[in-house]
Structure 1
Amino acid sequence: MTSWKTAIASMQWLFFIFANTIVVPISIGGAFDLPGEMITGIIRSSLIFTGIACMIQALIGHRFPIMEGHSGVMWALVLNLCATASTMGISLSTVGGGIATGLLLAGGVVVILSKFNLLAFLHKIFTPMVMSCFLFLLTFQLVLIFFKGMFKVGVDGTLLLPQSLFSIAIAVLVFLVKVKGKGTVGNYSLLIGMATGWIAYLLLFPSEQQANDTQSLLSIPIFPLGEPNLHMGIIIVTFLASLINLSNTLASIHSIADMLQERVTQARINRSFMTTGFFTIVSAVFGLVPFAPFASSLGFLESTQNYSKKPLVWAGATMAVLGIIPMMGNLMATLPVTVGNAVLFIMYLQLLGTSFRSLNGYQFNSVTIHRLAIPILTGLGVMSLDASIFSNFPVLIQPILTNGFMIGISISLVLENCIEWEEKSPSTTVWDEVD
């Protein structure tokens, strides 16, 4: 790959990583009712460690061109725990401290199990069909999030039509560039859409831009969500969710290996788990949502048609620099969230194709179709429900019951590991025991 192509590809990766990252610490800071300077510190921590995690995974961990970012599964769980804090009669800082303890415990366990090669049993639990259900539910969950994020809502709860129509126009632009663009033009649709939308939004809606205060590197907070505590309910829920979150790693590696037609070794997977476990510990300390390889990166790769990991490494390094240098981070923070959501909405449409391809080799009849239909449709059904209808259940299990993704994956795990299906197909990915 020539240097100019690497530079452009790195810029695309940077926009992709940033757009997937920036909204997470902002939402967490708001949920925990943190002061502005504390939220700014969490944002900077997020930029720094997301960039570092991407580099380490690409160079040492799984060594695939997959973004390592804040897990959507854990993001939803943290927000749900915040929403139920008043119902449980505990403070937000107690919730945050319990989450920190659960993450420290989960991260430590994953690192130890990875070190001593004790995670191979996950291959038997997270079967290829479970991974297919994971990809389908992840596609629906992300597309719904980004579709909703395209629309600008005012403080009174009403739709701001000009900004919303602008986001839709950017989504259409990205789609047209992708399908109509010739050669490399179509592959750079994300970069074109982000740059065009960013500049045009600043010109059309200048009153919405706010100045950001700069901070020093030493201002990054430690345990900003709350000091670790022993609230067992929060700890147990967080720990179990973190283990389920490991399916992110398996699904991502399984899918990218199929795409690139590479053989995956157990040692390679162990290194990826160890990296994720380490950054789970980091997340607990700095008040971040835990990390996981993004299976959604597959949609980005298919859109750009660039499968080299070098641009991802450079983008990760740049991302870390943005967090270290406040002025640069503040500049990137002017990227309109609605524009980022509009571009990502189009990018993640590709993930649906990846989900369908994961079913290659499977044949279904009127009985075996249930192994796919029950977990996916049940998960979608839970996603469509108002979380308040579960208020009569014990508060410690409400975060699980209201999470359609986790419900769907849990059902799939039970079906695949407890029922002998008559027409079960083998995985298309080859797992080896040596590196």
Structure 2
Amino acid sequence: MTKNLAGGLQWAIFLIASSIAAPIAIASIFGMDTADTALFLQRTIFVLGIACLIQAFIGHRLPINEGPAGLWWGVFIVYAGLVGVLYSTAEESLQVLQSGLFYSGILFIVFAVTGVVDKLKQFFTPTVTFVYLLLLVLQISESIMKGLFGISSEGDLMDVRVLLAAVAVILITFYFMFHRSAFISRYSVLLSIAFGWLLFWAIGKAPSIPETSGAWMTFPDMLVFGPLVFDGGMLVTTLFLTVLLIANMMASVSVMESLLKNAFSIQSEDRMKQASVASGLNHLLAGLFSSVGPVPISGAAGFVSATRTPGLRPFIVGGVIVTGISLFPQLMAVLASLPAPVAYAVIFAIFSKMIEMAFNELEAEPNRKRAYKVAAFGLMTGVGLMFIPTESMAGLPSAVAAILSNGLISGTIIAIIIEQVMTRVIRIK
């Protein structure tokens, strides 16, 4: 019981630390005040906790935490730019986005029932997974390095003390991860975050815990932005978006299955259809509670590899802890005060494992010549799009802008297309 509780606490801290950036950034884009931002964060964390439990019990049944989908993050940014253009107020735009989550939830379930999900699974070969994992690490590397340098906004100067402290946290994380003691390596993330928090407090770089007002326990409000509405543009956007989210989900599940099989000799059953239905329920939940659409996070494989905790029970305990914490504003305030460089330092160590997994996937590809060509197209396209400012795509349809502004998804799609062309048409040997 103690083992599951400690593992669950570690999962909970990892989930929250890797998820708070998106809702805070979205709230800022839409001009929410401090109180509304705190409530938006609460609703998002609450939904993510429930989403983990839904996937654990009726979905893929793997230790993969749910996080704010990067694709939805991109769509929120696009629709924030439409305020004053297509929508008169930010609330009206958010109401459409809230409704879009419902559209997506229904589409997830329809695609699962009709067999579309099963047909998509064949495209996720070792080569495509390799491209996806590398692009994932490259996409998040900018945020990680800015966090390690203490840069929180454009124009900030690097903070040398923050950088040195962050490097110390990275080193201690690797030390804990590869420690001979099974206890220390299993709880390396928890121990590293505790060490980092104390270190930043000692050097005076830990933010103070904000005061909270009102009830000591609050349940998230529903349909905060108003009743559901029909919007044709959003329906088209969610149609494409849901297909891409399914691809993202499949990649995350595929990576975790590969890790469990190779590193822990654990075989998992094919539950991709159930995972899609669970994702549909999670999106309906996200729309009901006016939050951000969730998606299984590939970084979970790095977390499991680093902590050597492939069991489902600690993951379920973590989901319960996250859900419970979200109901207590003061606890949310404490966790939200975790120094960002500490979170980024630990994530740096975890994502370094993802690169190792990526090359392990490539080694499983029998046709290396074709794999190298596919990877070249996918990586060049994906990385190149990461350098194009999102504002440059403001004139495009929202669905197209959401895809092109996400180098991870675009590069993966290109890799799938090129590999299929080479396999079925060119027949490169």
Partner of 2:160: 161
Partner of 1:249: 249
Q: Is the 8 A contact 2:169 2:345 kept in 1?
A: yes
CA distance in 2, matches of 1:409, 1:226: 36
Shift of 1:274: 0.9
CA distance in 1, matches of 2:396, 2:110: 35
Q: What amino acid is aligned across from residue 255 of structure 2 in structure 1? A: S
Partner of 1:8: 6
Q: What amino acid is aligned across from residue 414 of structure 1 in structure 2? A: I
Aligned residue runs from structure 1 range 142-153, under 5 A: 142-153=140-151
Q: Is the 8 A contact 1:137 1:408 kept in 2?
A: yes
Aligned residue runs from structure 1 range 1-400, under 5 A: 3-83=1-81, 85=83, 91-115=89-113, 117-153=115-151, 157-179=156-178, 182-205=181-204, 208-216=207-215, 220-224=220-224, 228-261=228-261, 262-266=266-270, 268-364=271-367, 369-390=372-393, 393=396, 397-400=400-403
**79 and 151 in structure 1: CA distance in 2 versus 1, 3 angstrom threshold:** farther
CA distance in 2, matches of 1:109, 1:342: 37
Q: Is the 8 A contact 2:107 2:242 kept in 1?
A: no
**212 and 423 in structure 1: CA distance in 2 versus 1, 3 angstrom threshold:** farther
Q: What amino acid is aligned across from residue 91 of structure 2 in structure 1? A: S
CA distance in 2, matches of 1:172, 1:342: 9
CA RMSD of aligned residues (A): 2.8
**368 and 326 in structure 1: CA distance in 2 versus 1, 3 angstrom threshold:** closer
Shift of 1:257: 2.0
Aligned residues: 421
**Matched position secondary structure for 1:62:** coil
Name the TM-score, length of structure 2 as normaliser: 0.87
Q: What amino acid is aligned across from residue 381 of structure 1 in structure 2? A: G
Q: What amino acid is aligned across from residue 336 of structure 1 in structure 2? A: P
CA distance in 1, matches of 2:185, 2:102: 43
**Matched position secondary structure for 1:292:** strand
CA distance in 2, matches of 1:283, 1:388: 27
Give the gaps of 5 or more residues in structure 1: 425-435
**244 and 195 in structure 1: CA distance in 2 versus 1, 3 angstrom threshold:** same
CA distance in 2, matches of 1:326, 1:341: 24
CA distance in 1, matches of 2:7, 2:117: 34
Q: Is the 8 A contact 1:149 1:337 kept in 2?
A: yes
CA distance in 2, matches of 1:397, 1:251: 21
Of 222-231 and 100-109, the range deviating more from structure 2: 222-231
Q: What amino acid is aligned across from residue 14 of structure 1 in structure 2? A: A
**78 and 166 in structure 1: CA distance in 2 versus 1, 3 angstrom threshold:** same
**Matched position secondary structure for 1:349:** helix
CA distance in 1, matches of 2:161, 2:413: 42
CA distance in 2, matches of 1:12, 1:168: 21
Shift of 1:180: 5.1
Q: Is the 8 A contact 1:38 1:224 kept in 2?
A: no
CA distance in 2, matches of 1:24, 1:167: 21
Name the TM-score, length of structure 1 as normaliser: 0.86
**87 and 162 in structure 1: CA distance in 2 versus 1, 3 angstrom threshold:** farther
Give the gaps of 5 or more residues in structure 2: none
Q: Is the 8 A contact 2:107 2:239 kept in 1?
A: no
Partner of 1:429: none
Of 22-31 and 79-88, the range deviating more from structure 2: 79-88
**Matched position secondary structure for 1:246:** helix
CA distance in 1, matches of 2:152, 2:105: 39
Q: What amino acid is aligned across from residue 106 of structure 2 in structure 1? A: G
**Matched position secondary structure for 1:69:** strand
Q: Is the 8 A contact 2:225 2:290 kept in 1?
A: yes
Q: Is the 8 A contact 1:42 1:286 kept in 2?
A: no
CA distance in 1, matches of 2:390, 2:282: 30
TM-superposition CA deviations, 1:358-384 (whole Å, max 9, x none): 223324566652222101221011112
**231 and 160 in structure 1: CA distance in 2 versus 1, 3 angstrom threshold:** farther
**118 and 71 in structure 1: CA distance in 2 versus 1, 3 angstrom threshold:** same
Shift of 1:200: 2.8
Q: What amino acid is aligned across from residue 244 of structure 1 in structure 2? A: L
TM-superposition CA deviations, 1:259-299 (whole Å, max 9, x none): 22355545x22221111111111212323221111121110
Q: Is the 8 A contact 2:218 2:329 kept in 1?
A: no
Q: What amino acid is aligned across from residue 55 of structure 1 in structure 2? A: L
Q: Is the 8 A contact 2:126 2:364 kept in 1?
A: no
**394 and 328 in structure 1: CA distance in 2 versus 1, 3 angstrom threshold:** closer
CA distance in 1, matches of 2:195, 2:63: 26
TM-superposition CA deviations, 1:332-389 (whole Å, max 9, x none): 2221222111111111110111112222332456665222210122101111233344
Q: Is the 8 A contact 1:299 1:351 kept in 2?
A: yes
CA distance in 2, matches of 1:393, 1:112: 28
